[in-house]
Amino acid sequence: MSVETSPEDATQCCSPVMREPLSAEQSAELARVFKAIGEPVRLRLLSLIASHAGGEACVCDLTGAFELSGPTISHHLKVLREAGVIEGERRGTWIYYRVRPETLRAVSSVLVPADAEAVTA
């Protein structure tokens, strides 16, 4: 795939959602999720949770990867949770977080190339 794009390529590039303008409401809802993951620590936390054994992780599993305090990690987890990217369940001392795949699907489907989406539809 060439890095160069032509106007023709761009017309072909996008999911059905991108083939018509998003409404202000749709944009606000989707942008909230993109904003939550548009921060390096939060995106890395998301990947750490998604890839952790059993698909879930507690703060105790996550702090080691960062030179950040527990409360800072917890703040970022809260932002991800409020945007619906992850969900948490308290079990004993810890809250265990896991990815909400339906949210990732919703936002990735906005961006995924139409040719790929056509195959998987």
Q: Candidates 75, 78, 91, 105: give the one binding its own copies (CB under 8 A).
A: 105
CA distances from 106 to 3, 16, 47, 112 (A): 26, 13, 17, 10
Cα separation of 113 and 56, whole Å?
29
Best CA proximity match to 100, nearest among 65, 49, 59, 62 = 49
Q: What Rg do the C-alpha atoms of the chain give, in angstroms?
A: 17
Cα separation of 40 and 38, whole Å?
7
19 vs 78, which CB is nearer to its own copies? 19
55 vs 70, which CB is nearer to its own copies? 55
5 binds its own copies (CB under 8 A): yes
72 binds its own copies (CB under 8 A): no
43 binds its own copies (CB under 8 A): yes
- Residue ranges that bind its own copies, judged by CB under 8 A: 1, 3, 5, 7-14, 17-24, 27-28, 30-44, 46-51, 54-56, 65, 87, 98-102, 104-105, 107-113, 116, 119-120
